[in-house]
């Protein structure tokens, strides 16, 4: 690290901690090591040397303590003695800063992390996540969002992992799933699922190769689909119903290059009005399979390269389509059909840069008004006004607030889902239900027994009948007693999962994510909820909300959407919104924002 960068970093540290640059920052380190095997625990403590390196980088840090939790996977979570001690010491004010390696290793889960960082913040203790470069007391909202989104990602992983634990175990072993209904392959079931493999069906494999070859000649998916019909090539289902999507699916499937892709399952997104299904291609993992490839790896790679550069036609116009890193650029499509570019709108007095977005067609060919001012014919030029970033956030938040009037019920619904999944996972509710049921039956039997005795005493039944019935009841009572004993035994053995506690945490976490009071919405939230935004020349904005089926730019179909809500955001509302973040707007420059919300009608 050069000297300047070093000084900068030292300054940043002093700004972030409560002490001045001359004072020492009292720091403690927290590490969690886990392993599959007990005997590795000691060896792992050597790995804690990482903090020495960090200490050397920060000369004004004074090491106060090192807290470590060691344990075997799955059991260390409960104890966490080191962590709990550290929290106690933090409350006493033993140190100013906790340095830990990464968000995911800090607490049991990310909900936990969030709660503890908040608690620590109240005590004035900062947490520095070294690998993630996150300082928990950082004023910048961006950073908090970074933490949030890191957590969101982790959390969804956490939930899905529980839900799909069984699947995950199979994945780790490299099991092929499915009904084997994939064009070109036949699923051969092994003795165990791990031995499952694919065998090539030559006739179908030929179709797959054709599709890849035609695509490499520059032919589009739609044209290829037509060719397939023409050439009477069958699909996996035996039909000739080729569509451009079926071609794309084949071009997207790495199985054909001999790989198994994991994590393809859909993640349920709980934030939307309706549930949103998200397919995150970036989260696919590929593992070499135990079956032959149909196309070479080189072919596969070339096809992927072309796909990522491919020009798409939006409303009859060609747009270059590399997926933008900017969340708004990913969704903005001009009324004229062009995509959007981001630029620096202005620098505010406080040095904060605000961004603007403008139609790319305009950036390239200038606005219609420009041509007309020159006395030229403006026909064919776009005149949709540019938009600044905060207005997009403002509109999005207003839409979300309106859409989620029933947010609470949506969260409740999700929690029910999670709870159900937990029950499947742990059998907790099932066991409780069983116990309850047996107890009720036992009550009923006791009643019947007492009735039976009454009847006998009143001579309504004979001795033989009484003995017979009593015997049946006694037998069943004994059975119930044994079953209850087994069920409660299970409970002790299994250390019941604290479902209620977990659910409570998830709930708090969800409320945190659904909190719209942040300056900028997270990328994930925008991607999950918004399919497309179309600014119009008349000043209106069309917002298309993602439906159950996740829309991408290639699959977006405007005709499937209907107007759901239309509202105006006026100067007063905008002023109030801006003021919350310490910004001001002038009435002279203000134009009301007309927001039209479209939802998918399937
Ligand atoms: Zn335009």
CA 25 to ligand 1 centroid distance, Å = 54
Residue 428 CA: distances (Å) to CA of 414, 422, 436, 454, 500: 19, 8, 12, 39, 11
CATH class entry, domain 174-310: alpha beta
% residues pLDDT > 90 (the chain): 14
CA 518 to ligand 1 centroid distance, Å = 30
pLDDT at 34: 53
CA 392 to ligand 1 centroid distance, Å = 17
Strands (E) in 118-266, as ranges, are: 126-129, 134-135, 185-188, 197-200, 259-262
Q: DSSP for 71-94?
A: EETTTHHHH-HHHHHHHHHHHHT-
pLDDT at 430: 59
pLDDT at 272: 29
CATH architecture assignment, domain 3-163: 3-Layer(aba) Sandwich (3.40)
pLDDT at 242 over 60: yes
Convert 313-379 into a string of H (helix), E (strand) and C (coil): EECCEEECCCCCCCCCCCCEECCCCCEEEEEEEEECCCCCEEEEEEEHHHHHHCCHHHHHHCCCCCC
pLDDT at 419 over 70: no
% residues pLDDT > 70 (the chain): 61
CA 146 to ligand 1 centroid distance, Å = 32
Nearest to 595 by CA among 387, 353, 316: 387
Domain ranges of the chain: 3-163, 174-310, 340-407+516-600, 411-507
Residues 504-534 pLDDT 10s: 555 555 555 555 566 677 776 677 678 899 9
> What residues pack around ion ligand 1 (CB closer than 5 A)?
334, 336, 338, 359, 361, 382, 384
Residues 236-265, mean pLDDT to the nearest whole number:
79
Residues 276-281, mean pLDDT to the nearest whole number:
38
Residues 102-111, mean pLDDT to the nearest whole number:
60
CA 340 to ligand 1 centroid distance, Å = 8
174-310 shares the fold of 3-163: no
pLDDT confidence of 473, banded at 50, 70, 90? confident
CA 338 to ligand 1 centroid distance, Å = 5
Angle at 470 between CA 469 and CA 473, to 5 degrees: 90
Alpha-carbon gap, residue 445 to 437, rounded angstroms: 12
CA 383 to ligand 1 centroid distance, Å = 6
pLDDT confidence of 6, banded at 50, 70, 90? very low
CA 337 to ligand 1 centroid distance, Å = 6
Alpha-carbon gap, residue 219 to 26, rounded angstroms: 64
CA 339 to ligand 1 centroid distance, Å = 8
Higher pLDDT, 94 or 116: 94
Higher pLDDT, 74 or 451: 451
pLDDT confidence of 492, banded at 50, 70, 90? very low
Nearest to 115 by CA among 126, 105, 107, 125: 107
pLDDT at 107: 63
pLDDT confidence of 173, banded at 50, 70, 90? very low
Alpha-carbon gap, residue 437 to 446, rounded angstroms: 14
CA 42 to ligand 1 centroid distance, Å = 64
Give the chain's length: 602
- Please provide the average confidence, as pLDDT, over all residues in the chain: 72
124-133, 382-391, 397-406, 424-433: range with highest mean pLDDT: 382-391
């Amino acid at each position: 690290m050069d000297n300047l960068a070093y000084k900068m970093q030292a300054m940043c540290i002093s700004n972030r901690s409560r002490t001045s640059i001359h004072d020492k920052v009292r720091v403690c380190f927290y590490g969690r090591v886990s392993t599959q095997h007990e005997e590795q625990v000691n060896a792992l403590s050597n790995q804690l040397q990482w903090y020495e390196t960090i200490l050397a980088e920060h000369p004004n840090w004074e090491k106060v303590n090192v807290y470590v939790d060691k344990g075997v996977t799955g059991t260390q979570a409960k104890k966490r003695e080191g962590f709990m001690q550290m929290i106690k010491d933090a409350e006493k004010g033993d140190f100013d800063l906790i340095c830990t390696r990464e968000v995911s290793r800090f607490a049991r889960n990310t909900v936990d992390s969030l709660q503890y960082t908040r608690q620590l913040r109240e005590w004035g203790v900062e947490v520095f996540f070294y690998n993630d470069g996150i300082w928990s007391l950082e004023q910048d909202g961006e950073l908090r969002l970074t933490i949030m989104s890191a957590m969101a990602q982790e959390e969804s992983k956490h939930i899905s992992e529980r839900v799909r634990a069984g699947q995950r175990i199979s994945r780790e072993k490299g099991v092929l799933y499915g009904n084997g209904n994939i064009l070109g392959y036949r699923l051969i079931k092994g003795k165990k699922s791990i031995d499952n493999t694919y065998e090539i069906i030559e006739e179908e494999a030929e179709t797959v190769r054709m599709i890849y070859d035609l695509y490499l000649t520059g032919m589009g998916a739609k044209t290829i689909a037509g060719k397939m019909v023409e050439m009477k090539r069958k699909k996996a289902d035996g039909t000739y119903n080729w569509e451009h999507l079926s071609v794309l699916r084949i071009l997207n499937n790495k199985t054909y290059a001999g790989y198994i892709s994991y994590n393809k399952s859909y993640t349920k997104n709980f934030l939307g009005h309706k549930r949103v299904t998200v397919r995150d291609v970036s989260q696919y993992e590929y593992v070499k399979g135990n079956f032959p490839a149909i196309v070479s790896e080189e072919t596969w790679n070339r096809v992927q390269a072309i796909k990522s550069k491919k020009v798409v036609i939006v409303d009859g116009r060609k747009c270059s389509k590399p997926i933008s890193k900017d969340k708004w650029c990913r969704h903005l499509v001009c009324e004229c059909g062009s995509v959007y570019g981001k630029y620096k709108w202005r620098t505010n007095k406080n040095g904060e840069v605000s961004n603007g977005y403008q139609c790319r067609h305009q950036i390239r060919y200038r606005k219609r008004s420009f041509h007309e001012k020159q006395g030229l014919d403006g026909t064919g030029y776009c005149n949709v006004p540019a938009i600044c970033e905060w207005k997009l956030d403002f509109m999005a938040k207003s839409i979300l607030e309106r859409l989620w009037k029933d947010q609470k019920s949506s969260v409740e619904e999700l929690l029910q889902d999670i709870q159900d999944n937990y029950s499947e996972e742990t059998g907790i509710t099932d066991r409780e239900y069983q116990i309850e049921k047996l107890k009720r039956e036992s009550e009923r039997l006791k009643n019947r027994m007492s009735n039976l005795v009454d009847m006998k005493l009143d001579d309504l039944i004979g001795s033989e009948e009484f003995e017979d019935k009593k015997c049946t009841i006694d037998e069943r009572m004994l059975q119930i007693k044994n079953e209850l004993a087994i069920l409660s035994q299970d409970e002790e053995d299994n250390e019941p999962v604290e479902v209620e506690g977990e659910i409570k945490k998830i709930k708090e976490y969800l409320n945190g994510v659904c909190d719209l009071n942040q300056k900028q919405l997270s990328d994930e939230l925008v991607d999950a909820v918004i399919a497309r935004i179309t600014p119009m020349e008349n000043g209106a904005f069309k917002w298309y909300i993602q439906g159950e089926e996740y829309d991408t730019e290639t699959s977006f179909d405007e005709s499937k959407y209907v107007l759901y809500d239309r509202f105006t955001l006026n100067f007063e509302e905008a002023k109030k919104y801006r003021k919350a973040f310490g910004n001001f707007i002038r009435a002279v420059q203000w134009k009301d924002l007309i927001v039209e919300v479209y939802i998918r009608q399937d």
